[in-house]
Amino acid sequence: MLTKNSALLTKDDFSLRTDLPDWLVAEYKTFHETVTDKTFPCYFGMSGELKGELRYAYITQKDWSNLPAAVESFLTLFNDPKHKRHGLFVFVEPFEEEGTLEAYRKQFWDILQYLHDEDDMEWPKDAPRDPDHYLWDFTFKGEPIFIFGNTPAYKQRKTRDLGNAMVLGFQPRRIFEGLKGTEKGGVMSREKVRQRVEAWDHLPTHPDISHFGDPDHNEWKQFFIGDDSEPIKGKCPFTHKEMK
């Protein structure tokens, strides 16, 4: 049973709790309205939100300290097979004024670096430490997780704009079982979602979007894509503790 002060939130908390900051309640309302729009591209997000299966957390500009506990609590849900499709969405207190895409990108990777630095569990021995390796994935508490950034700075790729706050989506790899890269279910699901994304964004799928395990693909580039159709260049901002 989660306590009132738990870092991990449920859908009901936004209507029942009185201790949540006003900005968070407002941003959740926008998030809910966006992902439950009938034309929203992501079936997973829409269904999870409507069924109350998603989980949430928040951090402020000055304090990220409850994030590790929130992610750890979220991962414990997967000890129960019924929760295998859960997703976690972390709201970041908005900047005083809307930032550039690069400002949000920097904060996104700073947050992931902080989460990694606070992780007291070693990565699996066979998990690559170098983000340039095609099988690199972000791992927390030994669990590989796909994480993607959404910000108001996305003006063309509107599917990545979920309100005035930056929102980080966390999807443990295990929820994609049966939907992996070359599996039939995965290919079909990705194609349907990508068609709907292109309809929302009026842009072709970003060139850095692929599937995990693609030897010609760097997974980290998919975590925070550009607001255009240009491949991301340069090195990943993330550094594994063992490589510092």
**Is 169 domain-assigned?**
yes
In the sheet where 55-59 sits, what is the strand order? 55-59, 88-92, 166-172, 143-150, 138-140
Can you give the pLDDT at residue 85?
Answer: 66
**Is 123 domain-assigned?**
yes
The C-alpha atoms of residue 171 and residue 147 are separated, in whole angstroms, by 6
Confidence label for 214 from pLDDT (cuts 50, 70 and 90): confident
Q: At 235, list the tokens.
A: 């090195």
**Is 229 domain-assigned?**
no
Can you give the pLDDT at residue 185?
Answer: 47
**pLDDT tens, 109-124?**
999 999 999 999 999 9
**pLDDT tens, 42-52?**
778 888 999 99
**Is 110 domain-assigned?**
yes
Across the chain, mean pLDDT equals 87
**pLDDT tens, 164-198?**
999 999 999 887 665 444 444 444 555 666 676 66
**Is 241 domain-assigned?**
no
Identity of the highest mean pLDDT range in 75-79, 91-95, 195-199, 200-204: 91-95
Question: In the chain, how many domains are there?
Answer: 1
Confidence label for 63 from pLDDT (cuts 50, 70 and 90): very high
Range of the domain at 53: 30-222
State percent of the chain over pLDDT 70.
85
**Is 186 domain-assigned?**
yes
The C-alpha atoms of residue 14 and residue 181 are separated, in whole angstroms, by 35
Can you give the pLDDT at residue 184?
Answer: 46
**pLDDT tens, 79-100?**
887 666 679 999 999 999 999 9
Can you give the pLDDT at residue 204?
Answer: 73
**Is 60 domain-assigned?**
yes
Confidence label for 216 from pLDDT (cuts 50, 70 and 90): confident
**Is 2 domain-assigned?**
no
The C-alpha atoms of residue 88 and residue 7 are separated, in whole angstroms, by 12
Can you give the pLDDT at residue 186?
Answer: 45
Q: At 171, list the tokens.
A: 């999807």
Task: Find residue 145's DSSP bridge partners.
Answer: 138, 172
Provide the whole-model pTM: 0.89
Q: How many CB atoms lie within 10 A of CB 183?
A: 14
